[in-house]
Structure 1
Amino acid sequence: MQRLVRPPRRFIATAAALSLAGLVALAGPAVSAPAATAEPAVTTTDQFVDVGAEADGSAVRLDTRLYLPAGTGPHPAVLLAHGFGGSKESVVAQAKEFAADGNVVLTFSARGFGRSGGRIHLNSPDYEVRDGAALLTFLAARAEVRKDGDKDPRVAVVGASYGGAFALMLAGADQRVDATVAAITWNDLSTALFPQAAQGSTTPGPYKQLWGTRFFTASVASVGSAPAKPSDVLCGRFDLTLCGELQAAAESGGPSPALAATLRRNSPRATIAGVTAPTLLVQGEADTLFGLDQADANAASLAAKGTRHAVRWTDGGHDSVSSNPALDEDAARTWIRTYLKGTRTDPLPVPAFTYSLPVPRNSDTAPIATLDTYPGLHGGIEQVPLRTPTEPSVVLTPPGGQPNSMTSIPGLGNLQLPTYRLAALPGMSAAFDTATLSRSLTVVGTPTVKLQVTSTGTEATLFVSLWRVEGTDAVQQRALTAPVRVALTPGKATDVTVNLPSSVWSMAAGSQWRVLVTSTDNAFTVPRQARADRITLATPSLTLPTADGTILPSTTERDTESLALTGGILALLVGISGSALLRRRRRQREVVREDYADIPLVVDRLVKTYADGHRAVDDVSWRAERGQVVGLLGPNGAGKTTTMRMMLGLITPDSGSVHVLGRPVHPGSEVLSRVGALVEGPGFLPHLTGRENLDAFWAATGRPAEEAEIDEALSVAALGGALDRPVRTYSHGMKQRLGIAQAMLGRPEVLFLDEPTNGLDPPQIAAMRPILQSYAASGRTVVVSSHLLAEVELTCSHVVVMHAGKVVTAGPVSDLLSSDDTTVFEFASVGALEPARSALAAMDGIRSVELVDDPSKPTLTVVSDRPREEVVRELVASGADVVGVGSRRHLEEVFLGVIASSQAPSEDGSGDASLIERLRQVRAR
């Protein structure tokens, strides 16, 4: 059971909801103990209590803690249960407060949790509930505890979620319980985990897979709940039979008959007929795990038995905390105090029914209303007309059940996230709108709608939710959805009455509401078989249960919307002025280099060392002039990407500087508006077309549309008609070309391209070459990082080669490829190569001869210590069939040579042998 936190602002409650989205949510923001104004001395004692053994005979002890209040006894007692995944340590604060209120409090780690032994049986009557009876006997043996008879303590059982079900089941199984508070819990775990919203159907609905996953992770990963055996890692401390059944249900999407029977038996519905103790039921109105229907079933059973009870609906639950925690605490405190002191009041000590209205826009707390009697989920009925579409909607279930609609996010329901566009996926949803409401309505309970479904399958799974229409969008007051699974005859229309999620809605006059039907939902297991359903209205109206309760005077009314708006405006003004001041100061301290004003890019002594001590860039300096296409080369880990990120202001160097046209580059530099870049792949909105993505990108710059020169960029993309298709249909190469075009929008003066030919086929690579060269020739500069050395050789005018964070060589490609000691001979035929090589081998001063027997261009590359003219003269005199002589090497040779030369020679060799080995190592990388 989780304690309700009293938030001073609603956004704090929202933050608390975020914390509840994980394991803690399974314990639930339950009804808290009373808040003590002064904390009297409370003493505690820890001890283990023996309980019943497991089925295999292994002994089980529960880890308990007894809290004793100050003053002479005997005192009434409170048995305080924790939520799923918790332990006795989870409820320390609540226990101390109950004890400070004059109660002996016993907390415990349930079987299978914390330091207690045994396995998790999900509140089995044979295990956890019997454990509870043993704890009552333990309390009865304490002299400090007030007794109603032999072995009969005066005791209340309090719990939430897992602990709430325990409280109800123990009260039904053991008449010694005198009062019960059960919060955000279930009546029938089979219908809670496999909910069915089709009215009158007994078929289990789809599995709540997200919540089910959390049950397993809470068991496996919670502190102190390590698996009893290494082989049990998949089940944690779950009973292995139950675990196997749950896993099978998660995979199939439905429970086996054995699992359904077990879940029903491990539920309050199995024992609640025996509850005679006055019971307060607290449930959350936007709870995606245990909805109001579960509390309603518990209330109906108590009413049938004649058991005194009250029902309280809060705007908290597993998805968020209540916005009125103090009032919830007061109700629980009043209930426990009344019935533990032995009084039987008439009327009840709290209203029979309390419910929370949605939080108004100008407040941070939900208005609370009361009724003298609990009306159930189908109170006063109002019929609101629904507009019938002229044609039935066809709703598709895609193969594999993906993509999933996102109606709600379990654990984050009260954040009211804008999920409509994620819920109403095109082709996978149908919408039915009401007429505009002529008067205001307060809906309290379960709205219903009657649909007509005609399917291609024998079974349809659908999800139905209620939204408020706002222009072209829609929002949910309660982020809930109702799952429906119905058997059908293919091609035959079937009427289905759907119980929408139970909650409370404020429907203002003039508003319009929408019933949304989807074929998938991310919170549930959905069928994987493709199916098409024609859906229309069987009855053109929405049935709404209404109530007109008495609104309690609010003690926390505040116009938070106005406060937030005022605060937001002030913050915006401060932000704008601060940002302007920051920019002005930054401009004042910028070192503008007038001597670099005509140089597109100057990199000066850059150094970057990461937190692990690795120096990725070490004193790197180079520059790029107008008209140049500069290739940035180096093996993996050379520092190319880190350097490029610093050149673009994405990261800050430890020392050194980058100047573009004389202006220093740093995050947010204005000069970056004169730079275009494609780094580590393009990123586009997949649902927009290529053209729309380019338009959106340019619009985000805030610059006039005519400056984009988009036609030229589109010619670079060369996508033809594909420009008007969604980007999600593009191949990798098409996205890459669109990314290059995006980088060239506005014809920036410096263009950075990281692996621009990645994903392009050879003709596209060849077509890109003149585009980049002509772009540079117009007086601009292009910097290309690439691993395709042959392409760099053909495209780039200059190269910078990096290795181990340093620049090892740089210069014009033509200079790097020419060499005084290297001569390249071309021959008329391959047959002329071998005689020529033999002739060269006989000459003095020849260091190496490399043969390339390409029939289209047979060559010999000769490295010599002699002047080139002597080598040419002797080879021609030998009769070799030479048709051409040159001195140009390939860039790959230069690249490998300078990288290998920058490495230390091997210990076991020197000279040519070690150089060859180092070249081999570089090639391997």
Structure 2
Amino acid sequence: MIGRKAAALGLSGVLGGVLAVAAPTATASAGTVRRAAVPYDYREIAVPSTGGVKLDGNVFVPRTPGPHPAVVFISSWSLEDHEYIAQAAKLADKGYIVLSYTARGFYDSGGGIDVAGPDDWADGSKAIDWLIAHTDVDRARIGMAGLSYGSGISQMVAARDTRVAAVVAMDTWGDMIQSLYANETRHMGVYALLNVAGRLTGRFSPRTAQIMDDFGANRNIPDLLAWGAVRSPGTYRARLNARKVPVFLSNGYGETLFPPNQLLAHFTGLTGPKRLDLSIGDHATANATGLLGVPSRTWDDAQRWFDRYLTGARNGIDREPAISSETAWTRTVERYRTVASMTKRTEHLDLGAAGSLGAAAPAGWAKPLPAGADSGATAGLPIISNGLQTFGIPNQVATAQISRWAAGVWTTPVLTATRRVRGIPDLTLSVTPSAKSATLVSYLYDVDAAGTGRLIGQNAYTLLKAAPGKTVEVPIRLQAAAYDVPAGHRLMLVVDTKDPLYGDADVPGSTVTVRSPSSLDLPLG
């Protein structure tokens, strides 16, 4: 069995320090942990679940008389139940019972990895059963929470178990297919990370192993789509709405695992109390420090969310605008009531023959792109390249090194005023493929006077079963951004046919020609 302390990921050294601070020292009595300085007891537990599976976990129980509100934390992919120790201790200090467990199939939890499927939903409900059987919990005040993997499971448990009174889902998804297979394009960089990490730290169920193999081999796609729909919180949104479950969501503008567009759609569709915190960075990079107890805007809001909806605290979070949005690179936080209100107007920019982006372009131009050629424009390494933006390091490229043979490049004149990009840039390309399939990858850059381009957003689109020689209109929604492009800089759009982040459908020796009319609609705040 794989060791539970996550040594393979180097996690033990990090969490060990947190455990030393947050968890009290052990006594000899019944595995319970006590220390006079803290108002709770702590112990390691095993939660029985379906199929004879036992889930490895821990629980904080206040020493004061109950009944107490409670929060159930579900571990992230390839992490384990001690992930939330610091945040759990903060909640326990305030009188919450907090149970954390390792998702099935990982480390010392039994069973096989179900990838947020029905077995995982059952596990969440069994954790609530355990609370009711073993603690003085208030059955009307139980919350579910998780970061990444545990966040999606939390939403789907809440959709099915009426005992869940509130949800915190951080770095989460609403649509699994749009996260991993949007625009019929496989997100291979992310798939590789999940596949390798899952096999190193857990055990795939036979069904999961089949899906992972099929995704990597690009086969049985209808089966993949059906599998993903079952594992999408958005599929069960009507159930959340029917009970008006308070749902707190968070995401990063540079997310490569669960890109923001799909979560914006999920959030918009929720009709109960809701909140969305958006940060600069990639998957979990803005919230990882909160796992160590470091002050965090999103974790602070998450605790306020539970205080409001599980304890009834009048802390004002329910009266604030529902969206908190961090801006690159100023790091200012703007607040909006709806996703639509983030965009005040749209600037229409035509793509021109001479690489111009802006003025109305003459008709008749065409730019052939060789299939399968990487131009040097890049989305970067999953998690890492955009994740470094959380810490002030941009995902950037020297634009002079982008191959004009392998890519179409369009640039605005030098901007005379700041462009406040807020929302989803919509790119419309007229394209003529010479083969039956092709992939297009588009990038939007902020380019300074030295020619250094900082990535604002990107996305890919795959044409399957295309008619060679026939021109079609391709709508590509770049991922949402909150980005100020300063005066004196330029906007640059790059379109090529290959990026390591994606699995392409390019046919060797073929071309895909971008032609007029093509345009970019830029959302401005």
1:185, distance to aligned residue in structure 2 (A): 1.1
The question of 1:333 aligning with 2:303 is answered yes
Match of 2:139 among 136, 140, 147: 147
* Residues 376 and 315 of structure 1: CA distance in aligned 2, closer, same or farther (over 3 Å): same
Residue 263 (structure 1) aligns with? 228
Q: In 2, are the aligned partners of 1:449 and 1:497 still within 8 Å (CA)?
A: yes
Residue 4 (structure 2) aligns with? none
Match of 2:332 among 344, 353, 367: 367
Take 1:175 and 1:422, find their aligned partners in 2: how far apart are those partners? 57
1:469, distance to aligned residue in structure 2 (A): 2.2
Match of 2:370 among 367, 373, 396: 396
Q: In 2, are the aligned partners of 1:121 and 1:238 still within 8 Å (CA)?
A: yes
Structure 2 residue matching 1:359: 3-state secondary structure: coil
The question of 1:459 aligning with 2:429 is answered no
Q: For residue 211 of structure 2, what is the amino acid of its counterpart?
A: E
Take 2:314 and 2:103, find their aligned partners in 1: how far apart are those partners? 32
Residue 448 (structure 2) aligns with? 470
Q: In 1, are the aligned partners of 2:104 and 2:111 still within 8 Å (CA)?
A: yes
Q: In 1, are the aligned partners of 2:374 and 2:497 still within 8 Å (CA)?
A: no
Structure 2 residue matching 1:84: 3-state secondary structure: coil
Superposition pairs of residues 25-40 of structure 1, within 5 angstroms: 40=38
Structure 2 residue matching 1:110: 3-state secondary structure: coil
Structure 2 residue matching 1:271: 3-state secondary structure: helix
Match of 2:349 among 366, 379, 385: 385
Residue 458 (structure 2) aligns with? 481
Q: For residue 394 of structure 1, what is the amino acid of its counterpart?
A: P
1:406, distance to aligned residue in structure 2 (A): 3.1
Q: For residue 483 of structure 2, what is the amino acid of its counterpart?
A: W
Structure 2 residue matching 1:68: 3-state secondary structure: strand
Take 2:423 and 2:491, find their aligned partners in 1: how far apart are those partners? 16
**Deviations 1:121-150 (CA, angstroms, capped at 9, x unpaired):** 11112x0001111111221223421233xx
The question of 1:357 aligning with 2:323 is answered no
Match of 2:251 among 266, 269, 283: 283
**Deviations 1:68-91 (CA, angstroms, capped at 9, x unpaired):** 124222210010111100111222
Residue 361 (structure 2) aligns with? none
Structure 1 residue matching 2:57: 3-state secondary structure: strand
* Residues 537 and 175 of structure 1: CA distance in aligned 2, closer, same or farther (over 3 Å): farther
Take 1:108 and 1:337, find their aligned partners in 2: how far apart are those partners? 22
Pick the structure with greater CA Rg: 1
Take 1:460 and 1:445, find their aligned partners in 2: how far apart are those partners? 27
Take 1:73 and 1:468, find their aligned partners in 2: how far apart are those partners? 55
Q: In 2, are the aligned partners of 1:279 and 1:308 still within 8 Å (CA)?
A: yes
* Residues 319 and 165 of structure 1: CA distance in aligned 2, closer, same or farther (over 3 Å): closer
The question of 1:184 aligning with 2:158 is answered no
Residue 409 (structure 1) aligns with? 381
**Deviations 1:438-492 (CA, angstroms, capped at 9, x unpaired):** 43232221011221111211222111111012346241244x4201112432222
Root-mean-square deviation (CA, aligned residues, Å) is: 2.7
**Deviations 1:259-304 (CA, angstroms, capped at 9, x unpaired):** 21011101212222211321111111111111111221221221xx
Residue 490 (structure 1) aligns with? 468
1:94, distance to aligned residue in structure 2 (A): 2.2
Residue 513 (structure 2) aligns with? 534
* Residues 496 and 524 of structure 1: CA distance in aligned 2, closer, same or farther (over 3 Å): same
Q: Gaps (5+ residues) in structure 1? A: 1-21, 25-34, 54-58, 149-153, 197-203, 226-236, 361-365, 548-925
Q: Gaps (5+ residues) in structure 2? A: 1-8, 12-21, 24-35, 355-364
1:349, distance to aligned residue in structure 2 (A): 4.6
Q: Give aligned pairs, total.
A: 469
1:347, distance to aligned residue in structure 2 (A): 7.5
TM-score by length of 2: 0.83
Residue 832 (structure 1) aligns with? none
Q: For residue 173 of structure 1, what is the amino acid of its counterpart?
A: R
Q: In 1, are the aligned partners of 2:105 and 2:111 still within 8 Å (CA)?
A: yes
**Deviations 1:376-433 (CA, angstroms, capped at 9, x unpaired):** 49833321434511442221114xx678853322122123243345983342211112
The question of 1:71 aligning with 2:64 is answered yes
Structure 1 residue matching 2:475: 3-state secondary structure: strand
Take 1:379 and 1:433, find their aligned partners in 2: how far apart are those partners? 22
**Deviations 1:317-337 (CA, angstroms, capped at 9, x unpaired):** 417336995322321121110
1:190, distance to aligned residue in structure 2 (A): 1.5
Match of 2:210 among 236, 244, 247: 244
Question: When you count strand as a share of all residues, which structure comes out higher?
Answer: 2
Q: In 2, are the aligned partners of 1:310 and 1:350 still within 8 Å (CA)?
A: no
401-410 or 351-360, larger mean C-alpha shift:
401-410
The question of 1:98 aligning with 2:91 is answered yes
1:316, distance to aligned residue in structure 2 (A): 3.6
Structure 2 residue matching 1:86: 3-state secondary structure: coil
1:345, distance to aligned residue in structure 2 (A): 8.4
Take 2:94 and 2:436, find their aligned partners in 1: how far apart are those partners? 59
Superposition pairs of residues 669-818 of structure 1, within 5 angstroms: none
Structure 2 residue matching 1:244: 3-state secondary structure: helix
Take 1:293 and 1:23, find their aligned partners in 2: how far apart are those partners? 32
Residue 359 (structure 2) aligns with? none
Take 2:258 and 2:77, find their aligned partners in 1: how far apart are those partners? 13
1:110, distance to aligned residue in structure 2 (A): 1.0
Match of 1:299 among 260, 267, 274: 267
Residue 543 (structure 1) aligns with? 521
**Deviations 1:711-742 (CA, angstroms, capped at 9, x unpaired):** xxxxxxxxxxxxxxxxxxxxxxxxxxxxxxxx
Q: Which has the higher contact order (CA 8 A, sep 6+)?
A: 2
1:99, distance to aligned residue in structure 2 (A): 1.3
* Residues 165 and 76 of structure 1: CA distance in aligned 2, closer, same or farther (over 3 Å): same
Take 2:120 and 2:431, find their aligned partners in 1: how far apart are those partners? 44
Structure 2 residue matching 1:261: 3-state secondary structure: helix
Residue 136 (structure 1) aligns with? 128
Take 1:120 and 1:496, find their aligned partners in 2: how far apart are those partners? 37
Take 1:356 and 1:239, find their aligned partners in 2: how far apart are those partners? 39
Structure 2 residue matching 1:272: 3-state secondary structure: helix
Report sequence identity in percent: 23
**Deviations 1:17-54 (CA, angstroms, capped at 9, x unpaired):** xxxxx898xxxxxxxxxx99x9624312222222111x
* Residues 350 and 139 of structure 1: CA distance in aligned 2, closer, same or farther (over 3 Å): farther
* Residues 97 and 267 of structure 1: CA distance in aligned 2, closer, same or farther (over 3 Å): same
Q: For residue 514 of structure 1, what is the amino acid of its counterpart?
A: M
Structure 2 residue matching 1:498: 3-state secondary structure: strand
Structure 1 residue matching 2:296: 3-state secondary structure: helix
Take 1:422 and 1:116, find their aligned partners in 2: how far apart are those partners? 51
Runs of 4+ in 1 over 4 A off after TM superposition: 322-325, 343-347, 401-405, 420-423
